[in-house]
Amino acid sequence: MHGLHEQRGVTLIDTLVGSALMLLVFVGIAAAFRLSVEVVTNNKARAGAIALANERMEYLRSLSYSQIGVIGGIPAGNVLQEEVVAYNGIDYTRRTMVLYSDDPGDGLGGADANGIVADYKTIRVEINWVSKQGERGLTLVGRVSPFGIETAVPGGTLTINVVNEAAAPVVNAQVDIANTGTTPTINIRTYTNIDGSITFIGAPAASGYQIVVSKTGYSSAQTYPVTVQNPNPDPRHLTVADNQTTSANFTIDYVSTKMVETFTQVREGTWTDPLTDTSKIEIMASTSVSAGVASLEAIAGAYEPYGFIRSVAVSPAILYRWKSFVAATSTPEATGILFRFYDNALALIPEGVLPGNSAGFATSTIDLSGISTTTYQTLRVVSFLTSGDANVTPSINSYSFVYEYGPEPFPNLSFTMRGAKTIGNSPTVYKYNQTHVSDASARLTLSNIEADTYTLGIAASTGYVLAESCNPQPETLLPASSQTTKLYVLPLTTHTLLVDVRSNAGALLQGATVELSKTGYDEMLTTSSCGQAFFEGLENDIYTVTVSGSGYQQYTTNITVNGATTLSAALNPL
């Protein structure tokens, strides 16, 4: 009898594992091949860059000392400052710069032993190209000394320093220098060193050196010419004198984004039922409405002892705050009227929200400011009329809900935006002073805005006045930041006052009391969530402003209101 031998086949798991291993091997081989190709390609590109840099360096070294320079440079020569060179199928950007340099061996600047600061020329050749991994580059730096004893060169020294808003050096900032009044003309594009500066020894003595400083992602700075609009520019174009050093400092930093949203300010609105008909009455019983009067119904010459009127739902659009309920009533002796308030589901507004509502209000003016608009966006009023004498009836001539609504987006609104930085004096010329218009969605996004302190405003020509700004103006825009400002406007009145209230630490104070008074006028407002209070319809006069806040000392000052006037009040803690 022959023995049986069990033979095991290849399972699906074995196949999958084997396939995965083979895939890993092939992927690894492909990656290694790709890497080797990239290395070869990059080495080839780098070799080409070195060849181009050496070519330029050797050419300059072959010239006589006086000929070494670049077109439009200091010193001048016949070599292009920047050019694109195609080599081995690759486009290279070659930048060449030649500068006079001061040798520290014999002292620098004014401490130079022989008074000659142009000891030798420094040649800098920079090659840049783009590979699949991004931009690549290399730089060769050489030095050429004059034959024999060094001699002084005519002209002065021009130094440009570039810093950011924190006064730290900005490295590799682009500096463009132009002067059409020299022979040959000067037109230089160079970049700051690790100290954020660039120095040109031997700059021709002349006025009219135009300087522009910039960097990708940064703001720019420059010198300015004398014009009719700017007769005293600062900084103005530079002047270089023989054997003198002219230094200029420029500030640039990362640009920012400013978004502005425009709204109409919260306004007072009124819902009124004049009771000329029953169009605003949802239900009524034992009452009549006629000729602007609501009263108990009379049957056979006798008035009903009890009746009520329930209003339709009052739901103001963009409701901001309930303020009050006001009724014009008449209650002869033995009669009475009570008002109770209900929500949209006909539930009585609870005592915790509106104290006294359960019993009803017998007064004609009722404060509704404690009712939350988040919970109660709709109100109804039920008027209960009673009479203990069949010959008389109470009556209501009208009633109203007073509320505030808004803010409401205001599209296509023109506003001004002005920075604090100036480029001229007498008269003051601001670096940024523009008029913008919000778009159809009532907003505008401004990109690439320089760090500065900006003031936004509303021109009187728009027919509106700035009633509030969140945050109050002016605002400081920091480098590399994003800031949103909301402007709230109201129809223009000739004289207004906008007060913002802060702690002495700068925090905006909500709920502070601002009282504005003068002879024959006294009004008190509470600051908004943005810490502001706005008074309109004022006169051109001197007013007293008194500001109070819980936990703070009272602040009092006099102010002359003339046009759109603003005041910032800082409160000290108790």
CB 312 within 8 A of CB 280: yes
CB 518 within 8 A of CB 544: yes
How far apart (Å, rounded) are the C-alpha atoms in residues 181 and 202? 16
Is the pLDDT at 317 greater than 90, yes or no? yes
Other C-beta atoms closer than 10 Å to the C-beta of 375 total 9
Partners of 48 in the β-ladder:
none
CB 309 within 8 A of CB 293: no
Q: Which of 537, 549, 457, 470 is nearest to 497 (CA)?
A: 537
Provide the 8-state DSSP code for 224.
Answer: B
Check whether residue 245 and residue 296 sit in a common domain. no
Does 454 reside within a domain? no
Does 416 reside within a domain? no
CA 257 to chain centre: 5
Q: Which of 196, 198, 66, 55 is nearest to 127 (CA)?
A: 55
Q: Which of 96, 12, 22, 19 is nearest to 52 (CA)?
A: 96
How far apart (Å, rounded) are the C-alpha atoms in residues 327 and 382? 12
pLDDT in tens, 64-103: 999 999 999 999 999 999 999 998 888 999 999 999 988 7
DSSP strand E in 252-349: where? 256-264, 267-273, 281-285, 287-290, 293-296, 298-299, 302-303, 306-311, 319-330, 335-342
* End position of a domain, from candidates 406, 434, 464: 406
Does 305 reside within a domain? yes
pLDDT band, residue 35 (cuts 50/70/90)? low
CB 131 within 8 A of CB 40: no
Does 302 reside within a domain? yes
CB 217 within 8 A of CB 253: no
Check whether residue 325 and residue 249 sit in a common domain. no
Based on the structure, what is the number of domains in the chain?
Answer: 3
How far apart (Å, rounded) are the C-alpha atoms in residues 53 and 94? 8
Q: Helix, strand or coil for residue 367?
A: strand
CB 536 within 8 A of CB 496: yes
* End position of a domain, from candidates 228, 254, 280: 254
Residue 97: CA count within 13 A, CB half-sphere: 22
Check whether residue 281 and residue 248 sit in a common domain. no
Check whether residue 229 and residue 275 sit in a common domain. no
Residue ranges making up the domain that contains 122: 61-254
Radius of gyration in angstroms for the set of CA atoms belonging to the chain, rounded to a whole number: 40
Other C-beta atoms closer than 10 Å to the C-beta of 82 total 13
Is the pLDDT at 14 greater than 70, yes or no? no
pLDDT in tens, 387-428: 999 999 999 999 999 999 999 999 999 999 999 999 999 999
pLDDT of residue 8: 56
Place of tokens 């909301």: 486
Does 500 reside within a domain? yes
Check whether residue 181 and residue 111 sit in a common domain. yes
16 CB-near residues (< 8 Å, 6+ apart) = none
How far apart (Å, rounded) are the C-alpha atoms in residues 311 and 40? 86
Is the pLDDT at 10 greater than 60, yes or no? no
Other C-beta atoms closer than 10 Å to the C-beta of 455 total 16
- Residue 277, Ramachandran bin (φ over 0: left; ψ between -120 and 50: alpha; else beta): beta
Check whether residue 228 and residue 292 sit in a common domain. no
Q: Which two tokens stand for residue 343?
A: 């929500």
Does 475 reside within a domain? no
Amino acid at 354: L
Check whether residue 337 and residue 288 sit in a common domain. yes
CATH number at residue 272: 2.60.120.260
Check whether residue 178 and residue 305 sit in a common domain. no
Report the pLDDT averaged over residues 263-271.
Answer: 95
Q: Which two tokens stand for residue 270?
A: 């009124």
CB 530 within 8 A of CB 508: yes
Instruction: Specify the pTM.
Output: 0.82
Check whether residue 107 and residue 244 sit in a common domain. yes
Report the pLDDT averaged over residues 206-220.
Answer: 98
DSSP codes joined into one string, 371-440: S-TTT-S-BEEEEEEEESSTT---EEEEEEEEEEE--EE-TT-EEEEEES-EEETTTTEES-EEEEE--T
Q: Which helix (H) or strand (E) holds 140?
A: strand 134-144
Is the pLDDT at 224 greater than 60, yes or no? yes
Does 248 reside within a domain? yes
pLDDT band, residue 4 (cuts 50/70/90)? very low
CATH number at residue 569: 2.60.40.1120
Check whether residue 313 and residue 240 sit in a common domain. no
Cα dihedral value 234, 239, 244, 250, nearest 10: 40
Q: Which two tokens stand for residue 410?
A: 């205001």
Amino acid at 200: F
Q: Which two tokens stand for residue 110?
A: 């004014």
How far apart (Å, rounded) are the C-alpha atoms in residues 262 and 469? 10
Check whether residue 346 and residue 223 sit in a common domain. no
pLDDT in tens, 92-142: 999 999 999 887 766 565 555 455 777 889 999 999 988 877 888 899 999
Report the pLDDT averaged over residues 300-305.
Answer: 94
Does 43 reside within a domain? no
CB 361 within 8 A of CB 311: no
Place of tokens 């040649």: 123
* End position of a domain, from candidates 233, 254, 275: 254
Q: Which helix (H) or strand (E) holds 491?
A: strand 482-491
Round the average pLDDT of the chain to a whole number and report it. 92
pLDDT of residue 568: 96
pLDDT in tens, 508-564: 999 999 999 999 999 999 999 999 999 999 999 999 999 999 999 999 999 999 999
pLDDT of residue 29: 72
Q: Helix, strand or coil for residue 477?
A: strand
Report the pLDDT averaged over residues 339-343.
Answer: 98
* Positive or negative: CA dihedral 9, 10, 12, 13: positive
Other C-beta atoms closer than 10 Å to the C-beta of 163 total 18
Check whether residue 367 and residue 501 sit in a common domain. no
- 91-to-59, 110, 236 alpha-carbon distances in Å: 21, 44, 39
How far apart (Å, rounded) are the C-alpha atoms in residues 24 and 180? 65
Q: Which of 532, 533, 556, 560 is nearest to 545 (CA)?
A: 556
- 354-to-132, 316, 328, 369, 379 alpha-carbon distances in Å: 71, 19, 21, 9, 12
pLDDT in tens, 157-169: 999 999 999 999 9
b (16+ CB within 10 A) / e for 92-131 = bbbbbbbbbbbbeeeeeeeebeeebbbbbbebbbbbbbee
pLDDT of residue 149: 62
pLDDT in tens, 463-483: 999 999 999 999 999 999 999
